[in-house]
Amino acid sequence: MGSPAPRKLLVVDFTNEELKPGSSSWASACNDIQRALENHGCFIALYNKVSPELDKAIFQAADDLFDLPTELKVQNINEKPYHGYIGQIPFVPLHEGLGIDYATTLDGVQSFTNLMWPKGNKSFSESSFSFAKTVAKLDEMVIKMLFESYGVEKYSDSHIDSTRYLLRFLKYRAPEANETTMAFPSHTDKSFLTILYQNHISGLEIRTRDDEWIKVDFPQKSFVVMAGDACQAWSNDRVLSSNHKVTMDANGKETRYTIALFSFLSKMVQVPEELVNDEKPLQFKPFVHIDLLNFYATDQGRKSQNILKDFCGV
Ligand SMILES: O=C(O)CCC(=O)C(=O)O
Ligand SMILES: [Fe+2]
């Protein structure tokens, strides 16, 4: 057994202009990212490409979206599980969320915007599109670094080319007196990576490998980058897709918003042969990414204590 993972999350500084492939800061960031994703399944990214204007606009967009009548919001339907409207759930009363599929394409953002605002909403569509594109750049950089850290950078371009992004607007209202503070129950993400951006209200907690829950207080304007189950499978069980949940402060008065970018692969999720050896024999069979979500949406999938083993274990 190795030593226990440190309780503090690693911070990776993407604002460093020297962070270019081939530089020493790039190489050490690659190692840091691998270690963080293996130990905790997530890290904090300092990334300054979201301007103060875009930051303001994206939370304004969230306000405008959640202010719409419920009858309209429930029309955000997607055949892919957990992609559309989620809310009005009695045991998760604080939470509501909506998702823009194909959020880094104009078509994806336009069709969502037109569904919610038949007369259009330029500021909503522009800020959502711009935010998704900007955060997807961070996602791409993390993929490049993670792949390089494992010596399989030759696969990163084809991985990036077949990535689809889902942008979710997540709202957690403050609990009323004597109401539950559990705002989003414990789960692992089914994505490859998830990148979270929050307003000034925290609430995210993650469970470490040693089964300890840690509160994630990330500096304002920074991001949490988290590995999903597909990344854990791809890495042949090296990376951790950590359990996480959202808990609101019982005495808090303000709404928490999270804008989350989830990445999914449109090609097979497959362990690179370089990550299989005698010490680490193949753990998972190749699978179609969306089938993992479809499995999770079944009774068996939801009850599973080890979804990857049950879904695609060798
Ligand atoms: O709001 C957050 O910080 C976490 C959201 C989350 O875990 C999810 O949508 O999968
Ligand atoms: Fe999550």
C-beta separation of 39 from 5 below 8 A: yes
Whole-number percent of the chain with pLDDT over 70:
98
Q: At what angle do helices 122-149 and 106-116 cross, to 10 degrees?
A: 140
SS3 291: helix
Find the CATH number of the domain harbouring 78. 2.60.120.330
Q: Does 5 map to a domain?
A: no
Establish if 2 belongs to a structural domain: no
Containing domain of residue 106, as a range? 11-312
Identity of the amino acid at 212: E
**pTM for the full model?**
0.97
Does any domain span residue 4?
Answer: no
Question: From atom 10 of ligand 1, which residue's Cα is the shortest distance away?
Answer: 189
Interface confidence (ipTM) of the complex: 0.99
Q: Alpha-carbon torsion 50, 174, 71, 185, what sign? A: positive
Q: How many domains does the chain have?
A: 1
In a domain, 87, yes or no: yes
User: 3-state DSSP call for residue 225?
Assistant: strand
Residue 202 CA: which ligand is closest?
Answer: 1
The answer as to whether 74 is a domain residue is: yes
Q: What is the CA radius of gyration of the chain?
A: 19
Residue 27 one-letter amino acid: A
Q: Which atom of ligand 1 is nearest to the CA of 97?
A: 9
- Report the pLDDT value the prediction gives residue 1, as an integer from 0 to 100: 46
With a cut of 50, which residues of the chain have pLDDT below it? 1
The residue to mutate among 98, 171, 195, 204, having the most atoms of ligand 1 within 8 angstroms of its beta carbon, is: 204
Of 144, 110, 160, 128, nearest to 266 by C-alpha is: 160
